[in-house]
Amino acid sequence: MTQVPSDAAQSAHVLSARGVTVRYGGLMALSDVRLDVPPRSIVGLVGPNGAGKTTMLAVLSGLQRPASGRVWLRGEEVTDASPQARARRGIARTFQQPELFMGLTVREHLVLAHRVRVKRRRLWSDMVDPRSLLPPSRAENERVEGLLELLNLTRVAKAPVAALPLGVSRLVEVGRALACEPHVILLDEPLSGLDMKASENLLSVFARVAEHVERDISLLLVEHDVAAVLALSSRIFVLDFGVLIATGTPEEIRNDPAVRAAYLGDDELSGSQPPPSWGHVHGGVEA
């Protein structure tokens, strides 16, 4: 692995990518895409269906090898690193469909995730039979209790995840990612399938996580709900047909003609208002 990249600015970011290109046969899924995630920030990655968002997330997490391009994590190149190696270095990810152990409780998920990070040898004995999970230590209890409180999950800590609604399951998956003490969490369509109340709750949790000084975590939010991304993110990257067409603050993205064309078509650009599909932001979601 290459230590600090030649572009000194990249080393100041938690996660950076340059020149990412991915081809599937004759299809160009991503073309020369760049992206930066600063420390303790929420960055949005948006675009219409088929824009390449999921492919970019796969490249960043190590699930997809790009045809060209490079990826850095905290100034260290991880382009050739496996997903497991990137996870150990501080990249965590959630998925559109929560991937949880249905027989375990919320608390047990967080304990196991914590052991992935700090007690791997003990983890293996737990995984042989998760129902005979070794009792958590005092330090583990303190860590898990803090996460439960941060995520508003204390009241369901003893509940099996199989009995939880989708919104709460998504919080458990975020908690599991946080328990691994990452530097950045890649969030893949976390609001998909949620009603307004559940979406508002999840977005408020994301804001608290990014503001939590002790945790020093950044979030990369890939989401179809552009209004939510605009409300929550400090910087946004916009893809269209695998090409990065815009990057900037929420206000800059709202007013970018290329972004509006990507969502509505060129003939809709005569007005001055943002695309109606973006909705009116209230509490971080469309109202």
Q: Encode pLDDT of 63-80 as tens digits.
A: 999 999 999 999 999 999
Together in a domain, 280 and 188: yes
What is this structure's pTM? 0.83
Together in a domain, 171 and 145: yes
Instruction: Domain of residue 52: give its range.
Output: 1-90+182-287
Together in a domain, 149 and 221: no
Query: What integer pLDDT is reported at residue 210 of this predicted model?
Result: 86
Give CA–CA dist 258/238, Å, rounded: 9
Q: Which two tokens stand for residue 200?
A: 């508002």
Percent over 70 (pLDDT), the chain: 80
Residue 101 or residue 147, greater confidence: 147
Together in a domain, 190 and 156: no
40 has pLDDT over 70 = yes
Query: What integer pLDDT is reported at residue 71 of this predicted model?
Result: 97
Most confident range, picked from 108-117, 169-178, 267-276:
169-178
Q: Judging by DSSP bridges, how do beta strands 235-240 and 42-46 pair with one another? A: parallel
Question: Any idea which of 55-64, 110-119, 169-178 has the lowest mean pLDDT?
Answer: 110-119
Give CA–CA dist 101/227, Å, rounded: 32
- Residue 128: pLDDT band with limits 50, 70, 90: very low
Residue 245 has phi, psi (to 5 degrees) of: -100, -15
Together in a domain, 208 and 220: yes
Q: What is the mean pLDDT of residues 221-226?
A: 89
129 has pLDDT over 60 = no
Domain endpoint, select from 148, 181, 214: 181
What's the domain count of the chain?
2
Average pLDDT of the chain to the nearest whole number:
83
Query: What integer pLDDT is reported at residue 10 of this predicted model?
Result: 59
Q: Judging by DSSP bridges, how do beta strands 15-24 and 68-73 pair with one another? A: antiparallel
Give CA–CA dist 156/158, Å, rounded: 6
Together in a domain, 79 and 187: yes
Query: Which among 91, 48, 66 is positioned nearest to 184, based on CA atoms?
Result: 91
Q: What is the mean pLDDT of residues 82-99?
A: 90
126 has pLDDT over 70 = no
- Residue 251: pLDDT band with limits 50, 70, 90: very high
Residue 272 has phi, psi (to 5 degrees) of: -110, -5
Q: What is the mean pLDDT of residues 36-59?
A: 94
Together in a domain, 66 and 208: yes
Domain endpoint, select from 132, 155, 181: 181
